[in-house]
Amino acid sequence: MRLGAGMAVTLALAAPAAAGASVGNFGMAVQPDGKIVVAGGAGLAPEGGREFGAVVRYLPDGRLDRSFDGDGVVLLRQQRPFTAVALQENGRILVASPIGGRAGLTRLLPSGALDTSFGEGGYLYGGASTSFFPTSLAVGKSGRIFVGGMTGYPQDSGEHWYGWLYSVTSNGRSGGVFGGMTTGQSDQPKTFVNDFVFDPGGSVVVAGTVAERRADAKAHAALARLLPGSVEPGGTPTAPDPAFGGGLVASDIFPASPMPEAANALSRHEGGLLIAGEAGGSMLVSRYFGNGTKDNGFGRRGFWTINVGGTSAVANALAVDAKGGIFVAGSTSSRCAGGECSSLLLAHLARFGHPVKRWGHDGILTPAPAYARLPGFEVAYDLALRPQGRVLVGGLVGDPSSSRFFLRRYLADGTPDRSFGRRGRVTTLPVAVRPR
């Protein structure tokens, strides 16, 4: 799930800057048969600067799956760029998009055709049913669909943002608020949900950001546990579970730094919780116990930060392997060509929060960027651990003229998997694939 600081990208709908969150127009999911579904925004240049929603499916070796709508690509021109993707048990594909497009949720059949049995002709419109700006999407064990993000007004400076989680029926016919980081009152802070995980008992832990209700306020990473049924009759959520860290848990890793902090990804980890994001201009990984208190035995006093010498670094995705090893993916930024360039950053930490020295370069990979022009960007927004220790990373790569989807796959030792795509890498400009 999912979903960057220092992103100098020309995307039509990037995350609202005041949120302090690294939310991108990209989502990735791997089917049981190994096929890879990617959703996001189509390239800018072919449409005169306007982006719209695109879904691409790849074969396990990185080639386009031509059985998916005839060429591997589905373009939904009435939609804004998708921000998240999830798979249902029957092979149907769910994608989320911000308000301003046709819908909050859209469902495709395994063939790539619009599933008109979902919602209203394939769409579930946003508003009271789903988040105004969805960042994360998952299907629960009961088949219900959960959507996290921001409810409020995207054009607002952030004074009316509420980090709420929504629950939607599996057929998309109805939905509503499951719970929120706050109840949305004017005297409460502004919040943003970036990711969430399910608790066995039916509750949900969410991660994101919290900040004072003013435009220039510094954001902090935040965690909260939401209880089922904790919604007022009018649809307003009650406060988070006070037994979890006192309610809304706000992190302050570097109090003296003016740079934002954020929890952009969340994962279970050996009975506790891991967050990944940014803090003080560095990529952040931090661990919490199951009760919402920080685990000071992890890394350095409960956290580990990574910066490879650029102006900033951020984590957007997080995964944990069977031995407790941790993988985080995002980007590192630096000044270039009179602007700012962002390059892929991938790190591997051991279970106690220290880099795995024998992997990559002291636990870190920063491959040569795939963009051709400056200033450019290559930002990872999702990752998946694959059989035999392989690591699949996906995101957006581009320059001032266009943006593309990219996938990179690495072997267990951190070297590129040359059996995947072209020397371990795939890039796709969706609008260029389909003939005019």
Whether the Cβ atoms of residue 30 and residue 384 lie closer than 8 Å to each other: yes
More confident: 130 or 106:
106
CA–CA distances in Å: residue 436 to residues 183, 233, 365, 433? 48, 50, 38, 9
Which residue matches tokens 């798979």?
A: 87
Pick 112 or 162 by higher pLDDT: 112
Stretch 316-343: mean pLDDT, rounded? Answer: 92
Least trusted range by pLDDT, from 42-51, 176-185, 203-212: 42-51
Q: Which of 38-47, 126-135, 219-228, 336-345 has the highest mean pLDDT?
A: 219-228
Q: Say whether 311 sits in a helix, a strand or coil.
A: coil
Place of tokens 């589905």: 74
How do the domains of the chain map onto residue ranges?
A: 17-433
Q: How far is CA 10 from CA 23, 245, 430, in A?
A: 14, 39, 17
CA-to-CA distance for 329 and 324, rounded, in angstroms? 16
Q: What is the pLDDT of residues 402-416, one digit of tens each?
A: 789 999 999 999 999
Q: CA 116 to CA 411: how far, in whole Å? A: 40
What integer best gives the mean pLDDT of the chain?
A: 87
- pTM, full prediction: 0.91
What pLDDT is attached to residue 426?
A: 96
Rounded alpha-carbon distances, angstroms, from residue 407 to 7, 63, 252: 18, 11, 33
Fold of 17-433: Methylamine Dehydrogenase; Chain H (2.130.10)
- Show the CA angle centred on residue 425, arms to residues 419 and 431, nearest 5°: 125
Which whole number is the average pLDDT over 327-340?
A: 90
Tell me the CB-side half-sphere exposure of residue 115, using CA atoms within 13 A.
23
φ and ψ of 431, to 5 deg: -70, -20
In tens, the pLDDT along 172-194 reads 998 889 999 998 887 889 999 99
Euclidean distance between CA atoms 394 and 379, whole angstroms: 8
Handedness of CA 33, 134, 18, 397 (dihedral sign): positive
Return the pLDDT at 12: 28
CB-based burial, 144-160: b 16+ in 10 Å, e otherwise? ebbbbbbbbeeeeebee
Inform me whether the pLDDT recorded for 20 exceeds 50. no
